[in-house]
Amino acid sequence: MSTAYNAYSPDYAVHPGEYLEEVLESRRISKKEFADRCGLSPKTVSQIVNGKASFSPDVALQFETVLGVAAEIWLAILFSWQLFQSRKKDEKRLHDAREWASQFPLTDMRRLGLVKRTMDWTGTIRQLLAFFNVSSPESWEDFYREKAIAYRKSPTLAASRYSVATWLRIGEKVAAGHEAQPYSKDRLRTAIDRIRTFTNVIPEVFEPKLRAECLAAGIVLVFVPDLQKTRISGATEWLASDRALIAMSIRHKTNDHFWFTLFHEIGHLFLHEKKSVFIDVDSDDETDREIEANDFAREILVPTVEYKKFIARGRFFAADITDFAERVKIAPGIVVGLLQHDGLIKYSWHNGLKQMYELVRTTKSED
Residue 313: how many other CB atoms lie within 10 Å = 9
Q: Mind listing the pLDDT tens digit for each residue in 123-176? A: 899 999 999 999 999 999 988 877 765 565 444 454 478 888 999 999 999 999
Q: Mind listing the pLDDT tens digit for each residue in 252-307? A: 889 999 999 999 999 999 998 888 888 887 666 677 888 999 999 999 999 999 99
> Which positions ≥6 away from 180 have C-beta within 8 Å?
214, 215, 216, 218, 219, 220, 243
Instruction: List, by residue range, all CATH 1.10.260.40 domains of the chain.
Output: 16-95
Residue 305 φ/ψ region, left for φ over 0, alpha for ψ in the -120 to 50 degree band, beta for the rest = alpha
How many whole angstroms separate alpha carbon 243 and alpha carbon 295? 24
pLDDT in the model for residue 8: 47
Three-point CA angle 349, 227, 99, nearest 5°: 145
pLDDT category at 361 given cuts 50, 70, 90 is low
Average pLDDT value over all residues in the chain: 88
pLDDT category at 86 given cuts 50, 70, 90 is confident
Please give the C-alpha separations between residue 60 and each of 41, 72, 131, 216, in angstroms, as whole numbers: 15, 8, 38, 57
pLDDT in the model for residue 122: 86
**Mean pLDDT of the 40-57 span:** 93
Percent pLDDT > 70 in the chain is: 90
How many whole angstroms separate alpha carbon 260 and alpha carbon 266? 10
Phi, psi dihedrals of residue 328, rounded to the nearest 5°? -95, 5
Are the C-beta atoms of residues 66 and 34 closer than 8 Å to each other?
yes
**Mean pLDDT of the 94-112 span:** 90
**Mean pLDDT of the 24-30 span:** 94
pLDDT in the model for residue 154: 46
Q: Mind listing the pLDDT tens digit for each residue in 293-308? A: 999 999 999 999 999 9
What superfamily would CATH give domain 16-95?
lambda repressor-like DNA-binding domains (1.10.260.40)
3-state secondary structure of 246: strand
pTM for the structure as a whole: 0.79
pLDDT in the model for residue 2: 44
